Amino acid sequence: MKINKWTIGLAAVGLVSLTPALRAADATPVPQPVMTAMSATTISGYVDTSAVWNPGTGNANPAPYAFNGPGKQDGFNLNAVDIKIAKPLDEGKWSAGYTAEVMLGPDATAALGGFYPIRQAYVSLRANVWNGLDFKLGEWDNLLGYESTDAMNNPNYTRSYGYTIEPTEHVGLLAAYPFSANANLQVGIANDLTAGFNRNISGTPPPGTAGPNTYTTIESKKALVSLLTLTAPDSWGALKGSAFYAGLDYGPGNAFSHPAINAHIVDKTELYVGTTIMTPVKGLSVGASWDSINNSDLGAVEGYASSVAAYLSFHVPDTKVTLNTRAEYASGSAFDNLVTLGNAQEAKILAVTETVEYKLWGDNVITRLEGRWDGSADGSPMFGGTVAGAPTEKNAWMIAANVIYKF
């Protein structure tokens, strides 16, 4: 019996299976090299959806945290679809792997900039040096921050202002070295600190750039990224698993244009310190983070942003319920094209977020209800209002239901 060549091809990559009888009946061999290449590959991802209600008058000036742009208010949303194909590194002293990840949807457009829809695409290598030295060459996720681009990995559905002012993706070479089971250092060289920076961002180009309305990377200038992670060992008892993070980024950050200043490339200095502490109380953990960004090379004009946040997470014992609380103070300069923070001359914002997560449909489905308040710390109107109108509200409120399926 002759088997269709497409059936054999699907069997080769593991999408269908052939019975022993069918294999014996056909003389065409299954292409083993393809099967070997695919054998360790994994496919994962998620679908992120939400329903949002914003009590109050007007949505023209929403609270300026990430992924809260106009269009998400008072309605149903497909936030993102993410698909990742990867082959992890083997446990051997010399090994190689890869990651290819795409992200689609409104959140992806905002997070990835000119990289859209590619989220990550890199080759990973492990060298037999001391405890093992791992490399990523290509495009990879930002190192800094308490929160992730993936909502499912965060304690809350909405993002903090700390996440908002951080970079998202880098293209470059990243090295990671484990000094021990409890200390790891990552250091990388990247083209820039902002996704899309060298991908044809519109604007009036400075002299010597590639052409009209484009900015390009500078040949002799690259960005430094780094993160140190320390984890408490098992001998610390109830504190085991607690972690401390410290990171520094410096380098080309974004294209900047202002009437008082010639258009040019802005250098950024980004600092991050964070911690998650396990407690003796069953199910209770606390966390804290500090983010700071300063934009140099602006002459008499300063661009900056900072955020301080506290986190509290409590998994109610013997239930499927987890309560997550975040309180944050953020401030930033008027130039939100640099720091994407604020609608006024100088934004000062207080924000409190409360999230209730209930695992009704098992571990693969995240279902949570969230309430959030953002308030102007100096009492000036920052939110609400009508289209093309000035902000009219000092407070912004949000209630959201978030459902994510992980596969």
Compute mean pLDDT per 10 residues along the chain, 407 residues long, and list them.
44 43 43 51 96 87 88 93 95 90 94 87 94 94 95 96 91 96 96 58 39 49 94 94 96 60 67 97 97 70 82 96 97 54 66 96 95 92 78 92 97
SS3 breakdown of the chain: % helix, strand, coil, rounded to 5?
Answer: 10, 50, 40
Q: Cβ contacts of residue 395 below 8 Å, gap of 6+?
A: 56, 373, 374, 375, 376, 383
CATH superfamily, domain at 40-406 = Porin (2.40.160.10)
Predicted pLDDT of residue 193: 83
Q: How far is CA 143 from CA 116, 168, 187, 224, in A?
A: 19, 8, 9, 11
Question: What would the 3-class secondary structure string for 173-192 be?
Answer: EEEEEEEECCEEEEEEEECC
pTM of the predicted protein model? 0.82
Predicted pLDDT of residue 191: 87
Closest listed residue to residue 250, CA positions, set 262, 238, 266 = 266
Cα 283 from chain centre: 26
In the chain, residues under CATH classification 2.40.160.10 are 40-406
Using CA atoms, how far apart are residues 161 and 153, in angstroms rounded to an integer?
17
Predicted pLDDT of residue 7: 40
Half-sphere exposure of residue 375: CA atoms within 13 angstroms, side-chain side: 9
Compute the chain's Rg from CA coordinates.
24
